[in-house]
Amino acid sequence: MILEEILTPTRCHNKISVASKGKLLSTLSDIIALDDKKFDADVVFSALVERERLGTTGLSRGVAIPHCKVAECTEVTGFLVTLENPIDFGASDGLPVDLIFALVAPSSNDKQHDNTLAEIINFLGDDDFCFMARQTFDNEDLYNVAIMA
């Protein structure tokens, strides 16, 4: 996977302000629906919440990868977000989250979803990238840091 295939400058949001995991998932759903009109924010929100019920998508070191599958999705779509203030995400290490890579995938292609998810987990395991992403000033800067990683 090449990051440019699933991430665009309009899908990068720097220093958004949310106070909770629920509010983050709601905000992500709105961002996703605004980016592509085929997505309904309520459907995406429900799918993200349902996935979180299976277990947290908060990894460690302040990173989370909320993801879901929705019928309207035709290709894996990614959204990179940094938060103004870290929030509790139930991560295994107990640290709050401030770097999020959300994925929306087609409900019919488990292999593509799983492969992309594994690559994003590997990508977010790069401490240098995480450091640089947290230092960005705006959405375009965040996108450029991601693409150069």
Catalytic residues: 67
Cα(144)–Cα(117) distance, rounded to whole angstroms? 21
In order of 29, 45, 83, 110, 131, the CA distances from 67 in angstroms are 11, 10, 17, 12, 22
Q: Per the structure block, which two tokens stand in for 36? A: 């592509």
Separation between Cα atoms, residue 108 and residue 106, nearest integer Å: 5
